[in-house]
Amino acid sequence: MGLLDGKVAIITGAGGGLGEAYAKLFAKEGASIVVNDLGGPRDGSGSDQGMAQAVVDAIIAAGGKAVANAADISTAAGGQSVFDDAIKHFGRADILVNNAGILLDQTFAKANEADWDKVMKVHLKGTFCVSQPVFKWMKDNGGGVIVNTSSTSGLIGNFGQSNYGAAKGGIWGLSNVLAIEGRKYGIRIWTLAPGALTRMTADLPRYIQNPGAALGPDGIAPAVLYMVSSLSGDQTGKTLGVSGPRGVREMKMMEMDGWKPPGDGWSAEDIVKHADAIFFSDADVKMGARRF
């Protein structure tokens, strides 16, 4: 018995890297897979259905079930087609992993509108376009699990990734809302912030300088299996960071108790007077946790 026996999983960007690792692991655990990938290079140009089909062929050769989908998930029609393939071929949509993405890194001073829009369209709009038809089906059919891929570039920040970080931060915000709206329907929402060595990240300075510290896709996949399986129980609205240097850990927003101004007015100088109650200090960050 596999952890995902009888389940149907949709995985975007599954023609290589992280998505391929998720697809193969989920299939091994009994799920039927819709492997979506537009194909082409990491900057989002071009397309090649052969990438998705190669993963499907490998899953079928190993005794699993899968179909390929090469739709552009940054459009509503593309997102709908991914969902439609799940229903057409397997009759259900129990799991969605929004993993597709591109990189067009630029420092903010050199950023241009076209690349900004393209990154936003694939990451943030793409997550919306695929999630909405799946979310609606789950709402009417007893629930399911959606995993949205964010990044520490959006949650914490990273030099030269203003477009990518903004998109990934938006995905985290979207996940928080979906967790609230989906709770009463049994729809569980997870956010993943992975740090992995893939073709998307191979030339980033942190991996060039310290390649031995990076996890490969197979080192990230078990965390995603945990999220989408019964192992995670009824948990929802949580963010897991998974990377070589930091391991597996929950990430969350934190806030101080704060200072409540008096009803008869207050001044900017009062913030200075009550800074200890308003701002974090190193002493407030305990038990190995990092504020972000």
DSSP assignment of 226-268, as one string? HHHSGGGTT--SEEEEEETTTEEEEE-----------TT---H
Which residues on adjacent β-strands are paired with residue 194? 242
Judged on CB neighbours under 10 Å (0-12, 13-18, 19+), 60 is: middle
**Predicted structure pTM score:** 0.90
Measure the CA dihedral 113/114/120/126, to 10°. Answer: 160
Are 189 and 179 in contact by the 8 Å Cβ rule? The answer is yes
pLDDT in tens, 204-243: 555 545 555 568 999 999 999 999 999 999 999 999 999 9
CA–CA distance, 220 with 26 (Å, rounded to integer): 13
φ/ψ bin of 6: left (φ > 0), alpha (ψ from -120 to 50), beta (otherwise): left
22, 164, 207, 226: which one is catalytic? 164
pLDDT in tens, 69-105: 999 999 999 999 999 999 999 999 999 999 999 999 9
At 282 the pLDDT is 75
CA–CA distance, 51 with 99 (Å, rounded to integer): 15
**Smallest Cα–Cα separation from 8: which of 133, 81, 130, 94?**
94
Structure tokens at 73: 């998930």
CATH node for 8-251: 3.40.50.720
Are 169 and 126 in contact by the 8 Å Cβ rule? The answer is no
**Smallest Cα–Cα separation from 128: which of 157, 154, 96?**
96
Could you read off the pLDDT tens digit of each residue along the chain, which spans 292 residues?
A: 899 999 999 999 999 999 999 999 999 999 999 999 998 655 555 566 799 999 999 999 999 999 999 999 999 999 999 999 999 999 999 999 999 999 999 999 999 999 999 999 999 999 999 999 999 999 999 999 999 999 999 899 899 999 999 999 999 999 999 999 999 999 999 999 999 765 555 555 555 455 555 689 999 999 999 999 999 999 999 999 999 878 999 999 988 889 999 988 999 999 999 999 999 887 766 544 444 4
At 291 the pLDDT is 44
Structure tokens at 96: 């969605």
Tokens 């191979």 locate to 202
**Smallest Cα–Cα separation from 35: which of 48, 19, 17, 58?**
19
Are 24 and 10 in contact by the 8 Å Cβ rule? The answer is no
**Smallest Cα–Cα separation from 67: which of 84, 94, 86, 47?**
86
DSSP label of 63: T
Determine which helix (DSSP H) or strand (DSSP E) holds 149, and give its type and residue range.
strand 144-149
Give catalytic status of residue 164 as yes or no: yes
Domain with CATH 3.40.50.720 in the chain: 8-251
At 221 the pLDDT is 97
